Every structure is written in structure tokens, then in C-alpha cells.
A and B are shown apart, each in its own frame.
Chain A
């Protein structure tokens, strides 16, 4: 091997490098293998070393190394160039219209009313309330009599009832669950019962079926003030911390004192608008201290225990939150309605 061989090999490399597509890492790597691979041309020079004398070897070795370093440096530069070129191509090819719709299943929806129902359940569950779902078919005892609503009493007019048999009905409220729960459990009690309820009624604001959530707390030293505190917190949770609550006297056979709970109008923040009939308030549900008769009916001593109960219409809350104008839309099963949620 003489110097000429080295020079020729280097110039061969340089010629081949200049013929190589340096925008392709594959092409550059092929060149690397040809010269620096295990069977490569430069690597081959090292193998010739064996044929040299001990005196010639150091100089020869040095010269091979120099050549190898030069080739390596050029290849490294070429590889880097190829990488950049390839990245450039990746970044500039295949423009995508990101405004095109996504493939696959169109998005489905959860019913707004069940959304609210879940939120309310979670709020109370986090406070340790047990969840009861109750039943749609009730007997007169659970729906009325145990709740201090005797037959032929005008308070039955408040709830027009669908009957399926003598003294068997579609429940007109979730309050019957209170009785079931108090029969099966001993105080202290904390319970909520979401469910479907039914009344013979049908217009823009009344549906023959709607949803309620019933709540019950029975313990020693539970007062009306606690009812106010808990429901205020709940209203804030559901409607935001600016909401105000108002409690005003009302009548339910199974609570006493009884109250209607209003929240400040969510549309005008209490200033007064068309939706709140200029009162600034919206009725949200009924509540009150559990009537001693109800406790007696389930063998709880009202002298020892007191409690409160409340019931809210979920349909109304959903309608308020999502500005739904007609209650009938909620049970329309119309996809044009459902897919908005």
C-alpha cells in the first residue's frame, strides 16, 4: 500500500459521496457500509496490516486512521444533512385539513335530566347520605296515609293520582321512600331518593311523569335551621355561589313547619325578569321539618328525634340550567334535542 492507494481510495469515496443522494439517510448509510462497514473498503485496509513489517505498521496504521477519520467526518456531515432533509420532508408533506370531521362513531349524549340527577346524588352522597331508588308503584299507605294524608282530605287534591288497582298507584312523589327507609333503618338517618313520579297533569309546564329527588335527615337535635343551612349549600353547589335562597311558609301534610324554597332567579340574578314573573325568585322545591305523626307511623319517638325532609323537581332544575322552554322536550327522545347535551 502506498500513499497513492490512500489518495485514490479517498477520491473514490469523495466521488461516490458526491453521487450519493445526501437527502436520504438510507443512501448515506449504504455509503457508510461500503467504506466503513465490517467488509468496507477502509476497514479492509486495516486487515492488510498483517502483511507489513513491524517497522512499517505504526505509520501505516496512522495513515489508515487518518483516512478513516476523514471519511467518518464526511459521512457524519452527510448523515446530519440527510436527517435534516428528511425531517424537512416530513414536516412539509401530507398537509391535513384539520377542519374535516373526525371518523368513527358520532358523539352520543347523556340526558340532561340524568346529568342533574347524578350531580345531586353525588352532592348528598359526599355528605354521607344513603341513596334509595324506591319503586314507581306504591300503595296508598306509603304514598299518602303514612305521610299524614288521609283519604278524602283536600290535600289529596294537590296530587292527582294515576291508579293501577284499588289503593295501588303510580307514586305521586318520592316521599313514600321516606317511610320505606324509616321502616327499614333506625336513626340517625340520612337518605336521598331520586325517582320518577306521576301526576294526572299535562301542559307546557306539567308532564304526567317527572323526576324528583327526596331527602330525609332524622337525628337528635335536627332543626329547621339545619334544613336552611344544608339546602342553601346545595343551591350554591348547583347554581353557583352567588345564588340566594328564600324559604317561605307552605303546607305539606308530612312536614311541619313546611316551606317552599325559592332561589334567586338564575336569569336576572334576582333583579326581576319575564321568566321569574318579575319577582326575582324561582320556586325550586318543597321542604320542612318531619311531622311528628310521620315519625310515629314508623315507630320513631318524635320527642327524642326530629328531622327534615325535602323534595325537588329535577325537570325544573334541568329546564332552568339549560334554558329548556317546554317540559315535554325532556321526554321527546328527539335526537335534535338530545344531541345538544
Chain B
């Protein structure tokens, strides 16, 4: 809602500065979000007195004047014919910058005009943005003091942008805002009191009104005005409308807009000569009906729409916009003026459906004052009579539905309840004063007159406050009017309770700390995926894989944000591609998030979707950075597995890596593993398949894992101490040669298949593949650790045990001892 300060001052005699008004409104819950001061650029223009005025010695149309600016007398050359000694004028001194119509700026300098010095300019209205008059200078009131800036005298309007919350339809009008200020400053609200003369025929003899019951129109007041002269509105009206962002059109239309902005009651004016059927019908639309509104848009109507019709022909989408057929034009002389109350939901639905929100529909859908229709109509008639010279015909055509609110609602409030909810004590008289200030009227409670110290007060609620329905609404008003800053800061007393972080939050934290300490960066992705990216990873839709059937949004922002996530990987892979573009030597990302899948509804209240918490990571490029020896390691499967194993240690969840029974198609077929905790499958890890990598523009070999976070959390274990031997350990190395594809795990299996006394650990020390070996072979070096639980082993004992082991290994067909 844009509010004009000049407009407010017509309604309440407020002297506070604009800044103060802004602060007050914000403190009242009418947040001021912006301010327009069109006069700001004229800040230097001031009041001055013309002391002398004579003819310019070298020109017949210029005058030579002496002007007093409050401090000094200045010689000024003036070209206006109406300049005269003794006048009070608007004066722009040297240094003033005046905007020019072409968009440029005129900076006033000391000038010589036909040989005479001129120290500034006496201004015409149009030169200082106060109107269109250019012929002569602007002559001001003689009371004004020389030297006062015009801006300070209210010559320029200031408009405020007020954020009106949906519960306050009353504040969508100047009268509503003025009422709040009047209450806050203890001033009187100056309401208009419409009066006009009626003449000629009865309105009901000129036009009939037919309102369909249950249509959504519960009150309709129509008046007829004839012999109207359509013309531009007077300057005061135009400037007020402009200040609130409405372009003046012509007097009658401007007046309806003025009443709307002042009282909050939308009005509509029809050209009566273009309503051909003599009957105004208010009814729901029929299927297939079409109406072209005054913005020249054609709308296909639906049965739920509410129409104002000329006979049976649609003439107006009720509460939203009028039709072009019956629009007021320059040639209009007869006006039918509509002031009505339409059902908020009906107007909201049709405004949404046809995609048209207007100043009128905005107010109707927020519930306008049900008692305002006749008053607003009369106010508009008065103005039309004054400004456009119309003759108001006698009476109205009107309709009131039985369900239309006829008496004000009554709401009571208990003082004790105010204290309980707000935490302040207020007296009955305080409540009376606060609430009557905003227009509530106290009613007698239980028959008798209200007692001074009554524990409960009853108020009747004016029509402009439909939001005040319950006691709590009045309590809020009391708190608001007392001022939230007056409510003390207090601490509640809490009972101590056992409390702990939810399981997923706990494990999420551990993972975040662990992975970031391993050099990964934590990501936060939008939880929307692109279907394309999902397909790039998981392939085209398949019935048996939920990940290939992401849930689409019904109203996505864009294709790219069109589906719900089934995995964190599509977005992380995209982010990796983006990061590679910045030529980073490495990408290391991780995220704790979720995938969303459709499921059976567990109950009627259930959404029918399940959310699977996930953790995923991605690494590529330089892994262990070593600038000193210049031997950086590159991310590979071992690096990825190292990350997972460190994580497993940190979480105390032993992880198992196995060849996948169902390999992931987005991973390299030979460089991927299924990850288990015990027998529970958690997810997979591996190198991104080259084809998938290419589709995400990845140049670096990229390794990823993704695990089910809930299952991972459930597998957390508590370590139990096992006694360990404090005896000296003895080690022996064994070097074996095996086929390239014979795994470490397979070698270990063979080594562990024989029971050797005092052998406590087998550790892989190194692996080698390369030119020193036959092709397709690899060399593995293991360290065997011997230790007795209770004594020091002798060399002899160890040698014996180790020889047994070597002999056993030597017999294995898969292993060659070196």
C-alpha cells in the first residue's frame, strides 16, 4: 500500500515529521518498507521576496528584479510577464540543479543576461515539478518566510510504501492508516461527511438491479449520475493519485480511484449509455462466456466466476476489472456507479484464475468493510457533483442479501487473560482507551453499564476490522497499541529434562567433522534435481529402480530444478564439473542430505513420500598434496576407500567392501565396491564411469561414494576392551607373486587358512606391478607379526612357526613365494 503524506494530513492533523511517522507506523505493525520523495531534488528551491522589479535596460520582455532570499539581496533577471515587486516567489539560487524535461540537468550559475548579472532564477511551476504551468512564475502566499526551503513547507508530497499484512484490510486505505496515527498521537480523525443534492428521476426508474442469490454478492448499491462532463481532474486530485502511483485518467474514473484509496471501498463506474439493457444483473458466469476487460485482455469465464452483466451480457468481472464495452470514455455523460461487497474467496479465486490482480480485487479478497458501500457511493457522488458537475438522480438501486453482515460483531476480552498471554498488567480503563482509539465501541456487559474495574470488557467491532473475531485478537490489539517495546523481557522457568541430539543429527555432525578434517568441503545443494542429471547418472526410467523415477514438482521454477532428489550424486557431479571449470587442481566435496521417494501412505495424514537420509562424497585430482617433495598423489580408489575407512573408525562402524552383486552402472565396472556394515548394504563406492564422467564434463578421474545414513547410524557400535599382550613382537616378511587380478583379500584368505601358533597379525607392506615382473603379475610383501600372550618368544620358536607357514604357502597353486 502506497501512502501519501499529504493525503494523510487531509484526514488527521498530524505534525510529526515523516521519519517519525515512519517509525510510528512500523511500531504499530504497519511496516514502512520504502519512501519516495520526489521533492528531494528541489531541496535548494526556497521562498524569496521580490523587493524591486524594473525593466531590463536592454530587453523589452525581461525584467530586472531585486530579490531577498532571507539573508541577502540579489539581482535576478526574470523573463516571466507576471513578475512584480512585493510578490513572494519560489527562488532557485546559484548552485541549484533543476531537472530538464529531456532528462538532463540545469545547474544554475551566475550569469550575465544581456549585460545584467543574474544570481539565480525565479521559478515557474513546471520548472520545479509542481505542475504544468509555464506561462508565468509561481506566486506564493505572502505569509511564507524568505529563505525557507519549499520542501519543508509541504509543497512536495512524500509517499511511503507500507507493508500491510493480510489480516489488516483496513490499512489498505488512507483512512485506515490515518486512524492508526490518530490513535497513536491522540488526535481526531477527520472523516468525510458526504452531501450532495439529488434531482430528476428516480434511479430505479432508469435502471433495474437483479442479484442472483448465493452468487457471492451480498450487498450492492447503484446510483445514477447524468449530465457529467468528463474532463481532466483538478490538480490536487491528480497529484494525490500520482503520489500513490495511480495515473490520472479523467475526473469520474479518478474519483472512483480516489474513494478506493481513501476509504478502501472499490467502486466501478459504467457508461450508462453503453449499458443497453436497462438491467444490471449480478450472477455466476456460464460455461463458454467471454469478456474483454478494459486492459483489452479477453477472458474465458468459468461457472464459478461472478459477473456484473448488462442484462445478460457480461460487463464486468466482479471485483476484479470492468469490461471494455461499458468503460467510461471522453464522450460519457451518464454514469452508473457501483459500490458492492463481494465474497472474498470468490474474488480471490477468479482473480487468481484469470491471472489479474487489481487494487480492487486485492481489497475485496482481504474482506472490505461490509457497512461502507452506501457511504462510499455517496462520497463519490458528492465529488462527482463538485468536480464533474453531474446531476445525481434520486435514490439508489440496491440489494442486501440476508446473509450480509448487518450488525457489528461483539467480542469480549478478560483482563486476566491479557496478563497471561502478554505478560503485562493493564487496567480496564487503559483497555477502553486503547481500543476505542481504533474505533471499537464498548458495549455493556450482561445488561448493566460497564463497571470501571470490570474484569471483562465487551466491544462491538467496526466493519473495517474483520480480523477482530476472538478474544485473542483483542489481546493482540492491546499489546500492539501499548507497544511491544513496553512488554518486559522475562525468562521462563524451565524444568530440567534429559535431552539429546537426534541420532541422525549426531552422526551427521561426526561425519561432517571427520570428512572436513580429511580435506573435503561440505556442500549444501538445492534439493531439486534436473531430470537430465538424474538420467545421466542412473539411466532412463525403469520400473524396478526408484532412482530412475524421480518425483516431479507440479510447478517447478525451471526444468533444471524439476524433480526431487533421488541421490546426492547428480548435483555433486554437476558441482564437480563447475568446480573443474575454475581450474582447481582437485575437487573434494561431500554432503549430508536426503533422497525423496514415493511410498505407500501409512495413514490418511501421511504424505505418501519417504525421505531417505544420505551421505555422499566426491574426490578427484590432486589428493595428498606434497609441495616439498613434489610428488602429489592423485585421487584413486585407494584414496576413496581410505576416506571411508577413516570415517568408519571415527563412527566406530566397521565397514566391509565387497564386489557388488549388482554393479552400479554409473560406476567403473572394475573399480567399484558395495559397502556393507555387517550384512547390511549401505551403498556403493568407486570411480565414476567414464561415459558418465564425460556427460558431466569431468576431465579428472572422479571417485564417489553414497551411503544410506540411517543404516550407517544404526550400525554404530560401542567398542569393548579386549586385553592385549605386552610381550615383545617379532616380525618376518614374506614376498609373494600372484596374478594381477588375484586380490589381496584372496591372498589373505590363503594365509589365514592355516593355524600358526603365536601369529597375531598379517599386514600388507607394499604392492608392486611393473617391468621387473612378468606381465599380468604383481608382487605383494606381507609382514607377519608373532607375539606370545605371556612370554618372550625365542628366535628359534619364531623361525619354526614361520617356516611352517612358508612351507604351507609354497604349496598354494595361486601363490609363488619370492
Chain A residues engaging chain B, CB cutoff 8 angstroms: 100-101, 103-111, 113-114, 118, 121, 125, 127-133, 135-139, 141-142, 152-155, 157-158, 162-165, 168, 170, 188, 190, 196, 198, 200, 202, 207-209, 217, 219, 221-226, 228-230, 232-233, 246-251, 256-260, 289, 291-292, 306, 330-336, 338-339
Q: With A130-B499, A223-B423, A225-B422 in contact, do A103 and B553 touch (Cβ < 8 Å)?
A: no
Residues of A within 8 A of B489 (CB): 225, 228-229, 232
Is B472 located at the chain interface by the 8 A CB criterion? yes
**A162→B588 CA distance, assembly (Å):** 31
**A219→B484 CA distance, assembly (Å):** 22
Residues of A within 8 A of B344 (CB): 154
Q: With A139-B607, A221-B420 in contact, do A101 and B625 touch (Cβ < 8 Å)?
A: yes
Residues of A within 8 A of B596 (CB): 136-137
**B521–A109 CB distance below 8 A:** yes
Q: Which of B29, B472, B499, B575 contacts A249 (CB 8 A)?
A: B29
CB-CB nearest in chain B for A141: B605
Q: With A157-B166, A256-B473 in contact, do A168 and B421 touch (Cβ < 8 Å)?
A: no
26 examples of A-B residue contacts, CB within 8 angstroms: A100-B627, A101-B625, A101-B627, A101-B628, A103-B624, A103-B629, A105-B519, A108-B588, A109-B516, A110-B512, A111-B522, A114-B524, A127-B494, A138-B607, A164-B551, A209-B526, A222-B492, A225-B423, A251-B167, A256-B472, A257-B479, A257-B480, A330-B524, A333-B572, A335-B521, A338-B522
Q: Using A188-B495, A306-B420 as known contacts, list a sample of 11 further A-B pairs with CB atoms less than 8 Å apart, ordered by residue number in A.
A: A104-B624, A128-B496, A135-B611, A139-B606, A209-B526, A219-B492, A228-B488, A232-B489, A256-B476, A335-B589, A336-B582
How many Cβ-Cβ contacts under 8 Å join chain A to chain B?
252
**B524–A113 CB distance below 8 A:** yes
Residues of B within 8 A of A118 (CB): 509
**A331→B527 CA distance, assembly (Å):** 10
**Shortest Cβ gap from A125 to chain B (Å):** 6
Is B554 located at the chain interface by the 8 A CB criterion? yes
**A170→B556 CA distance, assembly (Å):** 11
Residues of A within 8 A of B572 (CB): 333
**B589–A333 CB distance below 8 A:** yes
Interface residues in B61-106 by Cβ distance below 8 A to A read none
Residues of A within 8 A of B421 (CB): 223-224, 257, 289, 306
**B554–A163 CB distance below 8 A:** yes
* A interface footprint on B352-386 (CB within 8 Å = 1, 0 otherwise): 00000000000001100000000000000000000
**B518–A108 CB distance below 8 A:** yes
Q: Which of A131, A217, A219 contacts B501 (CB 8 A)?
A: A131
In the complex, the 7 A-B pairs of residues with the closest C-beta atoms, listed nearest first: A249-B29, A225-B423, A223-B423, A105-B519, A251-B165, A333-B575, A108-B516
**A154–B492 CB distance below 8 A:** no
**A232→B611 CA distance, assembly (Å):** 35
CB-CB nearest in chain A for B588: A108
Chain B residues engaging chain A, CB cutoff 8 angstroms: 26-29, 31, 165-168, 344-345, 348-349, 365-366, 419-424, 470, 472-473, 475-476, 479-480, 484-485, 487-492, 494-497, 499, 501-502, 504-505, 509, 512-513, 515-528, 551-557, 561, 564, 571-572, 575, 578-579, 582, 584, 586-589, 594, 596, 605-609, 611, 623-629
Q: Which of A110, A223, A251, A257 contacts B522 (CB 8 A)?
A: A110
Residue with the highest number of chain A CB atoms closer than 10 Å, among B484, B496, B572: B484
**A306→B421 CA distance, assembly (Å):** 7
Q: With A105-B625, A224-B479 in contact, do A229 and B490 touch (Cβ < 8 Å)?
A: yes
**A104→B505 CA distance, assembly (Å):** 29
**A233→B489 CA distance, assembly (Å):** 10
Residues of A within 8 A of B525 (CB): 331, 333
Q: Which of A110, A131, A209, A248 contacts B484 (CB 8 A)?
A: A248
**A104→B622 CA distance, assembly (Å):** 11
Residues of A within 8 A of B575 (CB): 332-334
**A162→B527 CA distance, assembly (Å):** 12
**A200→B556 CA distance, assembly (Å):** 8
**Shortest Cβ gap from A109 to chain B (Å):** 5
Residues of B within 8 A of A168 (CB): 607-609
**A333–B553 CB distance below 8 A:** no
Residues of B within 8 A of A217 (CB): 492
**A250→B168 CA distance, assembly (Å):** 10
**Shortest Cβ gap from B27 to chain A (Å):** 6
Q: Which of A125, A129, A162, A257 contacts B476 (CB 8 A)?
A: A257
**B607–A137 CB distance below 8 A:** yes
CB-CB nearest in chain B for A255: B476
Q: With A114-B522, A168-B609, A229-B492 in contact, do A136 and B512 touch (Cβ < 8 Å)?
A: no
**A162→B528 CA distance, assembly (Å):** 11
Residues of B within 8 A of A154 (CB): 166, 344, 348, 365-366
Q: Which of A100, A107, A128, A289 contacts B499 (CB 8 A)?
A: A128
**A225–B487 CB distance below 8 A:** yes
**A247→B547 CA distance, assembly (Å):** 46
**B625–A226 CB distance below 8 A:** no
CB-CB nearest in chain B for A302: B472
**Shortest Cβ gap from B563 to chain A (Å):** 10
**A334→B594 CA distance, assembly (Å):** 20
CB-CB nearest in chain B for A103: B626
**A162→B561 CA distance, assembly (Å):** 11
Residues of A within 8 A of B557 (CB): 200, 202, 208
Residues of A within 8 A of B587 (CB): 335
**B523–A333 CB distance below 8 A:** yes
Q: With A109-B521, A196-B527, A207-B526 in contact, do A152 and B553 touch (Cβ < 8 Å)?
A: no
**A256→B417 CA distance, assembly (Å):** 13
**A281→B7 CA distance, assembly (Å):** 28
**A162→B476 CA distance, assembly (Å):** 32
Residues of B within 8 A of A230 (CB): 491-492
**B584–A335 CB distance below 8 A:** yes
**A257→B467 CA distance, assembly (Å):** 13
**A47→B135 CA distance, assembly (Å):** 138
**Shortest Cβ gap from A340 to chain B (Å):** 10
**A330→B552 CA distance, assembly (Å):** 24
**B554–A165 CB distance below 8 A:** yes
**B528–A246 CB distance below 8 A:** no
**A31→B624 CA distance, assembly (Å):** 48
CB-CB nearest in chain A for B163: A250
Residues of B within 8 A of A257 (CB): 421-422, 475-476, 479-480, 484
**A228→B479 CA distance, assembly (Å):** 13
